[in-house]
Amino acid sequence: MAYQYDDQNIFAKILRGEIPNDTVLETEHSLAFRDIQPQAPVHILVIPRGPYVCFDHFAQEASDAEITDYVRAVGEVCKMNGLETDGFRLIANAGHDGVQEVPHLHVHILAGRMLGRMLAKA
């Protein structure tokens, strides 16, 4: 199945500057900003600037430059926030079963408290 990107999603609007965001890092191909409803003291979203729905879409279709930039941006956000000391969790939800709300690839970087077990029972 080919992914269909909806350019009216909220992160596309953030990338176009139509909605404000609390920016943490900007790079050529990526943007990091604070989640509007933080689930932990540190809750930062990292998104590619390109029109990718989810992680596997990005992995299959993004250029090497975009992928390198994105992975480095995640690393830079971790470094900027000193997360190597106490650790963090990286989450990428996808699709229905992954309970992805916004159909533009994003990873959540969560940190700043003990986060507990990875999955709760549904």
Q: Does 35 bind ligand 5GP (CB under 6 A)?
A: yes
Nearer to ligand 5GP among residue 99 and residue 120 (C-beta): 99
Q: Which of 109, 95, 101, 96 lies closest to 9, judged by CA?
A: 101
Helix (H, G, I), strand (E, B), or coil: what is residue 120? coil
Q: Does 56 bind ligand 5GP (CB under 6 A)?
A: no
Q: Which of 33, 52, 58, 70 binds ligand 5GP (CB under 6 A)?
A: 33
Nearer to ligand 5GP among residue 36 and residue 65 (C-beta): 36
Residue 106 appears among annotated catalytic residues: yes
> What distance in Å separates the CA atoms of residue 28 and residue 111, rounded to the nearest whole number?
25
Cα distances (angstroms) measured from residue 68 to each of 9, 29, 91, 94, 102: 24, 9, 18, 21, 23
Nearer to ligand 5GP among residue 65 and residue 90 (C-beta): 90
Q: Which of 3, 5, 10, 69 binds ligand 5GP (CB under 6 A)?
A: 10
> What distance in Å separates the CA atoms of residue 109 and residue 46, rounded to the nearest whole number?
8
Return residues touching ligand 5GP (CB under 6 A).
10, 19, 21, 33-37, 93, 99-102
**Residues designated as active site:** 106
